[in-house]
A = this chain, B = another copy of it.
Amino acid sequence: MKLTTKGRYAVSAMADLAAMGARVPVALSDVALRQGISLSYLEQLFAKLKRSGLVESARGAAGGYWLVNAPADIRIADIIAAVDEEIRTTACAGGSVLGCQGTTARCLTHDLWDELGRQIEIFLNAVSLEDILKKRVLGMAAVNAPNEQSPDERVYKGAAE
């Protein structure tokens, strides 16, 4: 999972829309001012957000963008996936185990990056736009102890993949 300002901009902008109310067209120029992001760059991001079905738009004067779903139903992972496309975290090419090429240590770390990617995805899937607006995010970080417990106790969900 890439964690760049690109994804952060997108989340900030989406939170901005959410704060402005339901199905009210919000002009990107306003968002740009409030969030301190260049208008043209926002346009590129929203083209992707729209392509992913997260927002709708109206052209012309009094036009703008608005959220398709309620903030409670928009997960942060959806937003970042829309603008950052690539989710791969393992060193192995193509996500296939074949990429490890038979070397030992790299295959050992394979599990690590795999699990880290899952960890990040679980987190970003657990947080909605509404959680952000209502400041319910702090204190969510957690991790299971290494491998001694029964698999049934795991809280992890099989990430989208």
Asked if B3 and A116 make an inter-chain contact with CB atoms under 8 angstroms apart, the answer reads yes
Cβ-based interface call for A132 (8 A): yes
Cβ-neighbour of A89 out of B3, B12, B101, B154 (below 8 A):
B3
Cβ-neighbour of A111 out of B19, B132, B159 (below 8 A):
B132
Given contacts A101-B36, A135-B111, contact A126 B143 (CB under 8 A): yes
The smallest C-beta distance from A75 to any residue of chain B, in angstroms, reads 9
The smallest C-beta distance from A47 to any residue of chain B, in angstroms, reads 20
Q: Copy number in this complex?
A: 2
Cβ-neighbour of A36 out of B3, B9, B103, B155 (below 8 A):
B103
On chain A, the number of residues with a Cβ less than 8 Å from chain B's Cβ atoms is: 71
Cβ-based interface call for A122 (8 A): yes
Interface string of A112-155 (1 = CB under 8 A from B): 11111011101111111001110111111111111111011011
Q: Could you tell me the distance between the alpha carbons of A52 and B157 in the complex, rounded to whole angstroms?
A: 23
Cβ-neighbour of A156 out of B9, B112, B118, B141 (below 8 A):
B141
Given A1-B3, A76-B112, A118-B141, 6 other A-B residues pairs in contact with their CB atoms under 8 A: A15-B105, A19-B108, A34-B103, A115-B139, A141-B143, A157-B157
Question: What are some 26 contacts across the A-B interface (CB < 8 A)?
Answer: A8-B113, A19-B105, A108-B132, A111-B138, A112-B137, A115-B140, A115-B141, A116-B123, A116-B141, A119-B142, A122-B141, A122-B142, A125-B156, A126-B143, A126-B145, A131-B146, A135-B147, A136-B146, A136-B148, A138-B147, A139-B156, A140-B144, A140-B146, A141-B143, A142-B143, A157-B160
